[in-house]
Structure formats: structure tokens, C-alpha cells
Amino acid sequence: MPNTYTQIHIQVVFAVQNRQSLINDGWKSELNKYITGIIQNNNHKVLQINGMPDHIHILFGMRPTQALSDLMKMVKHDSSKWINDKRLVQGKFSWQSGYGAFSYSKSDVPRIINYIKNQEAHHKKVEFQDEYLKLLKDFNVEYDERYILKPVR
């Protein structure tokens, strides 16, 4: 077959280093646009991006031309550098190592878009730690408790 046809929808979730609430409403939209640009410059399509002060969710259509791990490494590295170069936080900003990635069928996409759009309302009821564990359990992802996000104390 001379062409490749795919339909791959991925939601990634990752947190600020030490789960610090550093993503400020004053520049969150700019950050989302910057991350969207990174993903789109790698020929993938962002469907929804949003988050909270301590973490971010991105739903995108992924083309099979790049490894997800390479894309996430670039997104996290370049967006951290952007935040630091603009001096948007005191000290050095970085994302926590690792991420969660979950795949969805086309029929799930509208529901996941809505879920990501409404993160602020969602997190009035559910803490990030519980949300993340639920995703891992819902997708039957094996995990080691030692490496799961821990609440900041």
C-alpha cells in the first residue's frame, strides 16, 4: 500500500516537578499555545489542551512518524526552556519526569475534549492524584506505587 492511514488519539498527562502549583493563569494560555505549536510542528494535531497549576492534559491526533517518548521529551524540554527563558517563575521550572499516555477511539474524542476543557470544575471534586490513579486503573496500566505522583506536603 503506497500510503499510510491512521487514526490515533492520545491523551498525555504530566505534572510540574514536585507537583508545585507554578502554572499561573496569567500565562497558562500562552503556555498552551506554545506546547500546541511544538506538537503541530511535529505534524501531529492538538485537539484539546488544558490543565491546572500543577499539571497538564493534552489530547492530540498522533501521526506514526515519531515515537511518543521523543515527542514528550521535546514538549517537556522546550516548554520548560520557554518558561525559564521568559522568567515566568522564580527559580528553575521543570516538569516531573515521566507522563501518562492513554489512547482513545474516535467515538471517545468528544467526551475527552470536554473532560480536558473542564479541568477546573473537575478538580473541585477530584484531586489530581486520584484522577491519575483512576486513569491508570481504567486502562489497566501496571504501575509501581514508589513512582506514582505523591501529594506535596
Number of structural domains (the chain) is 1
**To the nearest whole percent, how much of the chain has pLDDT over 90?**
74
Residue type, 1: M
| Domain of residue 38, CATH code | 3.30.70.1290
Any domain includes 47:
yes
**pTM of the full structure:** 0.90
Expressed as residue numbers, the domain containing 96 is 9-147
Q: What is the pLDDT of residues 80-139, one digit of tens each?
A: 999 999 999 999 999 998 999 999 999 999 999 999 999 989 888 988 888 888 899 999
- Among the residue ranges 32-41, 45-54, 120-129, the one predicted with the least confidence is 120-129
Q: How many angstroms from the chain centroid is the CA of residue 37?
A: 14
Tell me whether residue 105 is in a domain: yes
Is position 2 within any domain? no
